């Protein structure tokens, strides 16, 4: 059996920390239920906020304390092994696991400094890009006229742009001669936080990119489109230089006006809050990340504003998808691509003042296409390649 590497050890330490915190969280939930049953309140009313006392309270404190000691003991025991293990890359399975858990509770991972928390990186051919030396990517070849940055969606990573043997970025590099770079980031953080960090990454990248004629295009799938919008908005506020290179912004299945994904969770929270007997279970619902909660209304700023105009002097395009072959009202309003309703993906809002202004000729609806199938749909790619090849 081969020795584990440092990356695998880091994942093990992070997973152990999550497990310990989960045990402590379950102990809190059970204690809340125990205390509520002891008090026998009415069926409706506020939640119990008291801890149990006496021997019962001692038992719950002991469970939490023992779990914490076990976690610290495991971490102290595993930490010294890091110096003895070889470096190693993550496997696709490890990457998928980390991306998924970051999407679900990535803000908690970052807050607790868990090793599973992902840092934002630009990647090329599956490896991180040294943005202090970006021209090394072309290896003496002709400097491209266009850089396209691809921003993935919730619980995904840069490798998910490869689907069913197709990769929009690779095809564009072949057909248009552009340089395709891929962002990897913690999708559980707030969209505004990721947008601010992306704006900083692009500012550092182009401060080192010595070819002044190279243009920037951004393609965002799902949440990635909201992160891109947030980055553009915050870059303007911060006076960044990279927006002058930014020519095109393409959204693929982006929930500009929100998605039902978190609305069900929000409704469940409201339902549970009406009874002290159900309120402890709100802990489970509140465990979802801020990134998921931001998707409910398409929030792109730290102030909670949902309507931010599209960036000026940038050509914006949008692709929406329908799982159905027709465009019935039911299909458009409730089904969409399975996750994002049609109007949300097109930027439409019942209040015209909050709609995004994207001309009809810059919109495309792909029928019989699911949310992830947008990444491998040939018609979507053909439209994408035409848009990115047009003069800005």
- Calculated CA dihedral for residues 218, 224, 228, 229, nearest 10 degrees: 120
Helix (H) or strand (E) segment spanning residue 270: helix 260-272
- Tokens for 142, please give them: 């002709």
| pLDDT band, residue 364 (cuts 50/70/90) | very high
| pLDDT band, residue 167 (cuts 50/70/90) | very high
| pLDDT band, residue 311 (cuts 50/70/90) | very high
Q: Answer whether residue 373 shows pLDDT above 90.
A: yes
Whole-structure pTM over 0.85, yes or no?
no
pLDDT of residue 372: 95
pLDDT of residue 90: 73
pLDDT of residue 352: 85
Q: Answer whether residue 179 shows pLDDT above 60.
A: yes
| pLDDT band, residue 39 (cuts 50/70/90) | low
DSSP of 339-360: SS-HHHHTT--SSGGGS----G
Q: What is the DSSP letter of 110?
A: H
Q: Answer whether residue 36 shows pLDDT above 70.
A: no
Q: Is the dihedral of CA 267, 270, 272, 275 positive or negative?
A: negative
Task: Write the CA distances from 334 to 85, 207, 254, 337, 354, integer angstroms.
Answer: 51, 44, 15, 9, 20
Write the pLDDT tens digit of every residue in 202-242: 999 999 998 888 999 999 999 999 999 999 999 999 999 99
Q: Answer whether residue 266 shows pLDDT above 60.
A: no
């Amino acid at each position: 059996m081969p020795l584990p590497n440092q990356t695998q050890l880091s994942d093990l330490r992070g997973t152990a920390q999550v497990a310990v915190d989960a045990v402590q969280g379950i102990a809190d939930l059970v204690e809340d239920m125990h205390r509520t049953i002891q008090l026998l309140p009415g069926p409706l009313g506020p939640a119990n906020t008291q801890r149990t006392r006496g021997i019962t309270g001692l038992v719950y404190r002991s469970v939490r304390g023992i779990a914490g000691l076990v976690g610290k003991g495991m971490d102290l025991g595993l930490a010294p092994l890091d110096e003895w293990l070889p470096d190693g890359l993550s496997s696709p399975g490890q990457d998928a696991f980390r991306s998924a858990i970051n999407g679900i509770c990535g803000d908690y991972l970052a807050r607790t400094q868990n090793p599973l928390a992902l840092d934002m990186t630009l990647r090329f051919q599956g490896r991180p890009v040294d943005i202090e030396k970006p021209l090394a990517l072309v290896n003496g070849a002709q400097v491209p006229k266009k850089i396209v940055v691809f921003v993935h969606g919730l619980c995904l990573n840069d490798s998910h742009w490869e689907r069913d043997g197709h990769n929009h970025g690779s095809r564009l590099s072949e057909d248009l001669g552009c340089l395709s770079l891929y962002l990897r980031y913690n999708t559980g953080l707030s969209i505004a936080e990721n947008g601010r960090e992306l704006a900083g990454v692009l500012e550092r990248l182009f401060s080192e990119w010595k070819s002044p004629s190279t243009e920037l295009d951004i393609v965002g799938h799902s949440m990635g489109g909201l992160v891109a919008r947030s980055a553009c908005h915050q870059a303007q506020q911060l006076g960044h230089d990279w927006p002058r290179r930014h020519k095109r912004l393409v959204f693929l299945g982006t929930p500009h006006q929100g998605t039902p994904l978190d609305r069900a969770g929000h409704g469940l929270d409201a339902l549970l809050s009406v009874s002290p007997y159900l309120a402890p279970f709100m802990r489970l619902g509140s465990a979802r990340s801020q990134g998921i909660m931001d998707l409910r209304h398409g929030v792109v700023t730290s102030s909670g504003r949902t309507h931010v105009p599209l960036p000026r002097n940038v050509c914006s395009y949008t692709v929406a998808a329908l799982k159905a072959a027709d465009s019935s009202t039911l299909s458009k309003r409730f089904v969409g691509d399975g996750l994002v309703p049609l109007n949300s993906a097109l930027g439409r809002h019942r209040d015209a003042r909050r709609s995004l202004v994207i001309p009809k000729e810059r919109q495309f609806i792909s029928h019989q296409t699911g949310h992830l199938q947008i990444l491998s749909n040939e018609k979507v790619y053909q439209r994408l390649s035409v848009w990115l090849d047009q003069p800005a």
